[in-house]
Structure 1
Amino acid sequence: MPPAVLVSGLTKRYGGVVALDGASWQGSAGAVTAVLGPNGAGKTTMVECCEGLRRPDGGEVRVLGSDPWLASATHRARVGVMLQDGGLPASARPVRLLRHLSSMYAAPAPLDPLVQRLGIDRFADTSVRRLSGGQRQRVALATALVGRPEVVFLDEPSAGLDPHARLDVWELVRSLADEGVAVVLTTHSFEEAERLADHVVVVADGRVAAEGSLAEVTGGDRLEDRYFALTRRSVA
């Protein structure tokens, strides 16, 4: 099978700043791909190109075989996106918002089990503006999953969560991959990557510094040690 997500020779500039300089990697259906890199390395721009939120300057991006920038509404319904910041209407109440989003899909995921699994039922009547950061994270994750996507992009899905909620989210993410979904998550958490990732992509200076299974990327070392060795120049 072709990869669910294919990035090849991707380039992107902002004026005179090179954000991406020939980045290449791929993500498969039924697998969790963890994208790691320091702030400013280009990982957010790269994933936004995959989500169809930014137009590349060069190279190729294919998600489920389509160019996400030019993708149809039918294609977009097959892709879930969780943004770490923003995207949730402040005055909305979580379950009402999820019910509204669910109505837009032909075959949405069952809503009640998703709400209960993420603990959203415990703050269902609280407006988004009054939710804690961790509670908003759970609602944002639910909005990405309510359409039963074939590919889902998750930006720091466990950021701001308490330890119990973090484990619940990790279990949910793992179950998505086990059901055949292609999961791409960006993270700064080495523990998250080590627990979840079937495939690891390390980004530095707009390029992919390493890609492969956890064992292939680390070479038997700790992921944290290998990450800093690969990204030291970018961090400096």
Structure 2
Amino acid sequence: MICISSIRCGCLSISDLTIKPGLVAITGPNGSGKTTLLEMIAGIQIPIEGSIRINNTEPRKTTVGWVGEFPDLNMTFTRVTDEIASPLRFSFQPCRAIEESVYELARTMGITQLLHRPVRSLSGGEKVLIALASALITKPEVLILDETDSHLDAFTLGTVDIIIRNVGVPHVLFATHRPDRVTSADHVIVIKQGEVLRKGTPDEIHLNSIQGSEHLSLLRTLRDPTLWRAVHASDS
């Protein structure tokens, strides 16, 4: 469990939030606080007030994998193999064990053909897959994808979804504006103006949003792309 209690940081103010294991979509208008929440869960930011615990442990003492919207901006090495292996090398793992781990993960993800390529030769979607492999190589307890799907084609996005469903990471959290991605999650957290507006399964949020609510303008339906676009085009 990820337990959030009385946190305040930037625009975020969340009194109480429990995130269950599984695939969790975090959505809401631009500037609502999605990235700030994910950065605090990852230990990148520390809340001004309150606490976050991942299975009763502080985020910075938990193994967290992170993939951002533009993952190539954070890539350090010129070869794909070295980029994937970098978290293990920085933790001084034995060379033979690192090689075996990289190959096994690449085989599982179906990207062995990329291992000996230069990073600069990869397409945008391939770079996302390499960043995902680098995030998974340490077998994290939490995997975070911060709007990583924003620039992916349908095929690559489908590949990413298959991978994150099958790698066995207890908590997978992703920020997204895409309705198809939200409805594919196990749980959904909707944020607006720094507060949690709704949480539940996609079906629960869909049902609640069409039964009458003061927030109906934001959550009429998760399954109507036209309304979805209208909602996220404005922060009002």
Kindly state the Cα deviation for residue 23 of structure 1 after the two structures are TM-superposed.
5.5
Structure 1 length as normaliser, TM-score?
0.78
SS in 1 for 2:5: strand
- For residue 92 of structure 1, what is the aligned residue in structure 2? 78
Alignment partner for residue 115 of structure 2, among 124, 130, 138?
Answer: 124
Between the two proteins, the alignment pairs up a number of residues equal to: 217
Residues 102 and 137 of structure 2 are in contact (CA less than 8 Å); yes or no, is this contact kept in structure 1? Answer: yes
In the alignment, the residues of structure 1 paired with residue 181 and residue 146 of structure 2 have an alpha-carbon distance, to the nearest angstrom, of 12
For 1:223, the equivalent position in structure 2 comes to 222
Secondary structure at the counterpart of residue 182 of structure 2: helix
What is the RMSD of the two structures over their aligned residues, measured on CA atoms?
3.0
1:105-116 paired onto structure 2 within 5 Å: 110-116=101-107
Using the size of structure 2 for normalisation, the TM-score is: 0.78
The partner residue of 2:25 within 34, 45, 49 is: 34
Q: Distance in 2 between matches of 1:233 and 1:190?
A: 14
- 2:235 and 2:174 mapped to 1: Cα distance? 21
Partner of 2:216: none
1:63-121: CA deviation from partner (whole Å, max 9, x where unpaired): 231232xx3xxx34x322222233211x4211122234334376989422432454543
Structure 2 unmatched ranges of 5 or more: 211-220
Aligned to 1:146, which of 133, 137, 143? 137
CA distance in structure 1 between the partners assigned to 2:120 and 2:55 by the alignment: 35
Q: Secondary structure at the match of 1:235?
A: coil
Give the equivalent residue in structure 2 for 1:16: none
Distance 2:35 2:103 in 1: 31
CA distance in 1, matches of 2:124, 2:155: 15
Alpha carbons 2:87, 2:137 under 8 Å: kept: yes
Q: Following the alignment from structure 1 to structure 2, what is the Cα–Cα distance between the partners of residues 45 and 132?
A: 28
| Matching residue within 168, 185, 190 for 1:202 | 190
Shift of 1:232: 7.1
Per the TM alignment, residue 150 of structure 1 is displaced from its structure 2 partner at its CA by: 1.8
* Pair 1:225–1:209, CA change in 2 (3 A): farther
Determine what percentage of the aligned residue pairs are the same residue: 28
Please identify runs of 4+ aligned residues in structure 1 that moved more than 6 A. Answer: 105-109
Say if 2:171 is the partner of 1:168. Answer: no
